[in-house]
């Protein structure tokens, strides 16, 4: 068992090193990936700027309750001088720490890019989920069987999330 202990510890450290978090995760460094979480009170716009031209080659308004996670990969770009690297990114629900960054674009090298973030005016509320029924206590919104006049109770509900 003592021979397997170093293997288990190594496997644990490797699995923790694959996490994305706003604070940098298990072993934070500048090459580990970046996570920006947008909230209703602090909606964010993230831009990645090419400092040679001062133009943003990537910009995104992150919806409230979502996070933008991205990382830069050295090499793999389409131009060895202007865009030699790749940026991979994904938009997830806020708080997600593991997942695949499934979008990519070519980008300038590390010395020629800058990350800007702006806080948009808030509060900005997320769009309501159409699948969730809005509950109110207004008499006009009550079904006939829940009023003082009474009515027939349906056998089975057709509304989502209504048990």
- The domain of 33 spans 19-130
If you count them, how many residues does the chain have? 163
pLDDT tens digits along 104-135: 999 999 999 999 999 999 898 777 777 776 66
The answer to whether residue 158 is domain-embedded is no
The answer to whether residue 5 is domain-embedded is no
Contact 71, 61 (CB under 8 A): no
The answer to whether residue 143 is domain-embedded is no
The answer to whether residue 94 is domain-embedded is yes
145 Cβ contact list (under 8 Å, min separation 6): 151, 152, 153, 154
Cα(72)–Cα(52) distance, integer angstroms: 18
The answer to whether residue 154 is domain-embedded is no
The H-or-E segment that residue 87 falls in is strand 85-93
More confident residue, 117 or 20: 117
Name the least confident of 50-64, 67-81, 94-108, 143-157: 143-157
Contact 132, 65 (CB under 8 A): no
pLDDT exceeds 50 at position 57: yes
pTM of structure: 0.65
The answer to whether residue 13 is domain-embedded is no
Contact 18, 40 (CB under 8 A): no
Number of domains in the chain: 1
pLDDT score at 16: 47
Percent of the chain having pLDDT more than 70? Answer: 75
DSSP line for 104-122: EEEE--GGGEEEEEEEPSS
Beta bridge partners of 88: 71, 104
Arithmetic mean of pLDDT, 79-107: 94
Tokens of 97: 């720490």
The answer to whether residue 10 is domain-embedded is no
The answer to whether residue 9 is domain-embedded is no
């Amino acid at each position: 068992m003592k021979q397997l202990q170093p293997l288990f510890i190594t496997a644990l450290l490797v699995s923790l090193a694959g996490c994305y978090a706003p604070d940098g995760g298990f072993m934070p460094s500048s090459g580990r990936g970046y996570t920006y979480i947008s909230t209703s009170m602090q909606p964010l716009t993230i831009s990645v700027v090419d400092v040679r031209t001062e133009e943003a080659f990537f910009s995104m308004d992150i919806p409230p309750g979502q996070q933008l996670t991205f990382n830069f990969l050295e090499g793999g770009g389409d131009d060895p001088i202007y865009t030699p690297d790749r940026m991979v990114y994904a938009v997830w629900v806020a708080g997600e720490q593991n997942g695949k960054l499934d979008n990519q674009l070519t980008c300038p090298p590390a010395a020629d890019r800058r990350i800007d973030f702006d806080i948009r005016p808030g509060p900005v509320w997320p769009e309501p989920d159409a699948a969730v029924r809005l509950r109110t206590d207004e008499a006009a919104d009550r079904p006939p069987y829940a009023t003082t006049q009474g009515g027939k109770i349906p056998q089975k509900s057709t509304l989502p999330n209504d048990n």
